[in-house]
Amino acid sequence: MKSPLIFALLFAFALPLGLAAHAQQAGPVPTQALVNVDAKSTPPASASALTVSVNDKKEPLTAWEPVTPANAQVVLLIDDGLSTTTIGKELDNLRSFVRSLPAGVQITVGYMHNNKVSAYPLTADHELAASKLRLPQAMAGLDSNPYVSISFLVKNWAGLAAAPPSTTPATSSPGKARLVLMLTDGVDPSYDGVQDSPFVKAAIEDAQRAGVSINELYYSNSGRNNGLTYLSQITQATGGTSFWDGSSGNPMTTAPFLQQFQRSIAQTYIATFNAPAINNPQHDLVRVKFAAANTKLHAPEAVRPGNVE
């Protein structure tokens, strides 16, 4: 049996050569983004039915392709600090969700603790993945900053496909549709939910850079809801969905929201278009906005140009 991959915090990063140089832009390069079509909307039939604004300049799409099961990678991410009574009654629903995914979808179950993520490699063996679900450890000191955990997960996404994990930030595109569904209260222990959090900002940019859609299902140990603003920020910015707003406490059951998330995978498309190349590691994202007539779309607010694998 393979051992779980453990993602640990990197305490230093080597500064890229030429960091102080001004950003240089080259010609347009093929770029991709995951776009989810709202369940109440009809998906556009072709690329010609959509437009994308790249840094406020409209561009045509060159391709519009649905995500297939063989192209989907999912991380079911659970806060290990949640109480066993909170999540324990949902284990059967979570296992059923994993087992019911369409054949070919790769999935792994990850747990956030001490600002780390532990997860087995992605697998299309859904029975195996379901067997990795367990009760949260719910021990003192295990509470994580979920946004630090997200940054690590997306930077090391390639490590989920093969051991050992890579310490190089994942920069390949959503040629594989990368989706996270996390169960957490979203609380950043360093901030109060009113102030801007640099950890949330970093997690958003890291996820956008790696082409990962962050989706959330709010759960809380103690009724704290000051993480809701941060959760809304990260889902909106990465093209994901908040499946529960926490306004009336924890959901009675995860089942309907897990079904919604599964349906949303089938409503997700890979959009390909051209974007100007930017040669600056700290400012390598361009703003994007997708539009189609009579259609509600969920897409990331920014992407990394040239991310086509």
Q: What does the domain layout of the chain look like in residue ranges?
A: 26-67+268-303, 68-266
Structure confidence at residue 309 (pLDDT): 57
* 47 and 60 Cβ atoms separated by less than 8 Å: yes
Of 135-144, 173-182, 243-252, 296-305, where does mean pLDDT reach its minimum?
135-144
pLDDT digits (tens, 9 = 90+) for 161-176: 754 444 444 444 456 8
- Secondary structure (3-state) at 288: strand
Structure confidence at residue 26 (pLDDT): 61
- pLDDT tier at 306 (50, 70, 90 boundaries)? very high
Alpha-carbon gap, residue 303 to 3, rounded angstroms: 33
Of 137-146, 165-174, 251-260, 274-283, where does mean pLDDT reach its minimum?
165-174
179 φ, ψ to 5°?
-135, 140
Q: What is the mean predicted confidence (pLDDT) over 125-150?
A: 86
Of 123-132, 162-171, 280-289, 296-305, where does mean pLDDT reach its minimum?
162-171
Q: What is the mean predicted confidence (pLDDT) over 15-22?
A: 36
Q: What is the mean pLDDT of the chain?
A: 85
* 174 and 240 Cβ atoms separated by less than 8 Å: no
**92 pLDDT exceeds 50?**
yes
Two structure tokens written together for 33 = 């983004």
Q: What is the mean predicted confidence (pLDDT) over 265-274?
A: 96
Query: What is the CATH code of the structural domain delimited by 68-266?
Result: 3.40.50.410
* 39 and 154 Cβ atoms separated by less than 8 Å: no
Alpha-carbon gap, residue 231 to 33, rounded angstroms: 21
Q: Determine the residue type at 90.
A: E
Structure confidence at residue 8 (pLDDT): 38
As beta bridge partners, residue 78 has 111, 183
Two structure tokens written together for 149 = 């955990």
Two structure tokens written together for 258 = 């897990």
* 289 and 273 Cβ atoms separated by less than 8 Å: no
- Count of CB atoms within 10 A of residue 245's CB? 12
Structure confidence at residue 173 (pLDDT): 45
Structure confidence at residue 3 (pLDDT): 52
| Greatest mean pLDDT range, 17-21, 65-69, 138-142 | 65-69
Structure confidence at residue 167 (pLDDT): 42
Strand bridging mode 297-298 / 57-66: unpaired
**241 pLDDT exceeds 80?**
yes
Q: Which residues are CB-contacts of 232 (< 8 A; sequence separation ≥ 6)? A: 242
* 37 and 65 Cβ atoms separated by less than 8 Å: no
* Assessment of whether the complete model's pTM goes beyond 0.85: yes
**247 pLDDT exceeds 80?**
no
